[in-house]
Amino acid sequence: MSKYDSLASFIISNVGGSDNVVNVTHCMTRLRIKLKDLEKANITALEENKGIVSCQKAEGKLQVIIGTHVGEVYEDVIRKLGITESSNEVAEEKGSFINRFAATITKIVVPVLGVLCACGIIAGVNSVLIATKIIETGSGANILLNAMGNACLTFFPVILGYTSAVAFGMDPFVGMILGAVLIFPNIAVDMNSGDVLFSIFSGSPFEMGIFKTFFGLPIVFPSNGYTSTLIPIMLINFFASKVEKVLKEKLPAVTKQFLAPFLTILVAGTFGILIIGPVSMIIQNGLQAALAWLIDKSQILAFAVITLIYQPLVIFGLHWPLVTLGIMEFMTVGSSLIVASIFPASFTHMAACLAVFLRTKSTKMKNIALPAFLSACFCIIEPSIYGVTLPVKKRFGFCMLGGLVGGLILTITNSPMFAISMGTTGIMSFVNPQASSFAGLIWCLVACIAAMAVTFTLTWITYKPGEDGKNEDDVNYNKKSNKETIVSPMNGKVKALSSMCDPAFANGGLGKGICITPDDGNIYAPCDGEVTALFPTGHAIGITSDSGAEILIHVGTNLYEGKEALFVKHIKQGEKVKQGQLLISFDLKKMHESNLDTETAVVVSNSDDYIDVIFNDDKSVKAKNPIYTLIRSKTEANLSLKEA
């Protein structure tokens, strides 16, 4: 049994079973699970699992945030689902164009980031060694380090030829060959040699000269070739995947092995060079021109927007198109101010995690904040977002503000990155290899320190004791009595939790409790305490009592999204409430008319912290009347008496 075998089984079970799974992919920290029916996913149960940081619906998929070891969990999940990685990748993508585009960019670019950053670090080391005169330009060390540092970008179309082919479900080796055609040695020189036959787009940024033809058809080939480009090979392989699919369907089985790749390369390669390549370069140049125009109009405003939207985009996994624009900028001019402007973001999360780690008294939060801090050092900020900053939303705002300050410092001082690398290892990428200048490195340090200072200071001074939960060693030791009574949050009929349709509650996995079929649409506070969780739709609310009991009230099933109009929230997350206070109202009549389930679970999420939960033997219950009693151990009660 592998390390994450049980977690993989738990995930599959709580996304509606293997029959509900269309495909599974992953990025650097999260599983992206395409489901036939998103509503079958039990997000509450998934988020309760200690091996899962958070869950959300985005891009038409369920995103399960795991952490940097997500690749190992992914392997166990697809193994249990009985699908191969290649067949998994080709599952049909549906949803909006934006969602499909973002998902495709993610699948193509993310697998490359490891080697891209690795080469960027080597390029940065080379720049530092040249700038400090430790090695000389043209020396053997410089030549070798330069080759290793630039190999990834030089042969980027070949590398993306593989990843894009996998994303589009075609033979990855065919994809690599098509990428190699674009950067074949001397092809750019040969295609642009001799006399110009004619030019197109004369006098514009897209002007191209025609030097050669293919059986009378003009060949438009950029003078600097397709080295270090993204869009051309992506579009060519998209076209090639359609060609290959048709060929594999039509060709006799005995000839497919060699005829399919032969015809795919011939057709897609020719069409790619004649049509797709030039069109894609126009698109790429157009994007660059639009970005340059925006920056020219107001550089500060343009990069302020980029730095502000980057971190919220990370939440939904939609930041890769923005990163891709930065990579395109780098490939065009040899440096990137876009990537530089978002560079300080990970440092703000380092600062927030450090401040929380130093301030919190919660053992649980300390155990979350420290690993999240270490992950942020390498620009993996999802553990920080979902574990430390986003749960207390002001912290996430402080990170955005710190990122804005740091990004604008680098923008105003015009300090781009000369290699693509993020996190603490990317600092040396600000050394200019041509001018052997450390000015960019100095401004990078200033920007990152300023970003961290803003975030750390605001997080530190606004920190409130208890907002991360109580110290696990002290939970429930603040009452004189060894028992606590929980009252009913609503009027209705009572039945056993095990009879519920929702298996997450029925099997007791979310804690002990009861099920109430409501007589009206009012939910009241079952105890004095704090609202520690409030689902956006209003159908689920978590209350932590003053003595530490964690009460979850969950109305119905399949209400995770699109049902906001049914519920009215009278309180906010983080608000203190009194027993009997009205929390939420919902339209019970409309729910019945829409055939929506109204079974309401009232459970003690941390019931394992109690030696017993005693239920009242009632068939019906009135709001604000007792429904069960929580019993703590005598040792805990004695400790509470001593503290009192």
Residues assigned a catalytic role: 27, 554
Q: Is the Cβ–Cβ distance between 345 and 447 less than 8 Å?
A: no
Q: Within 10 Å of residue 576's Cβ, how many Cβ atoms?
A: 12
d(CA 208, CA 127): 34
Q: Quote the tokens at residue 212.
A: 């050669």
The DSSP code for 527 is S
Burial degree of 168 (CB within 10 A; 0-12, 13-18, 19+):
buried
Specify the amino acid at residue 45.
Answer: A
Q: Quote the tokens at residue 521.
A: 């649409």
Residue 256: name the closest of 245, 271, 241, 269 by CA.
Answer: 245
- Residue with the two structure tokens 């069409």: 271
Q: Quote the tokens at residue 269.
A: 């390669």
How many residues are listed for the chain in this entry?
Answer: 644
- Residue 307 neighbours by CB under 8 Å, 6+ apart: 341, 342, 345, 403, 404, 406, 407, 408
Residue 48: name the closest of 525, 488, 620, 601 by CA.
Answer: 601
Residue 534: name the closest of 493, 497, 568, 487 by CA.
Answer: 568
Write the DSSP string, 59-76: TTEEEEE--TTHHHHHHH
d(CA 364, CA 229): 46
- Provide the H-helix boundaries in 380-470: 382-384, 393-412, 439-462
Specify the amino acid at residue 562.
Answer: G
d(CA 258, CA 174): 11
Q: Quote the tokens at residue 242.
A: 């359609």
Burial 578-609 (b: 16+ CB within 10 A, else e): ebeeebbbbbbeebeeeebebbbbbbbbbbeb
Burial degree of 376 (CB within 10 A; 0-12, 13-18, 19+):
buried
User: Could you give the angle at which helices 277-297 and 320-333 cross, rounded to 10 degrees?
Assistant: 90
- Which residues face 620 on adjacent strands? 493
Say whether 59 sits in a helix, a strand or coil.
coil
- 201 Ramachandran zone, left/alpha/beta (phi>0; psi -120 to 50): left
d(CA 220, CA 414): 34
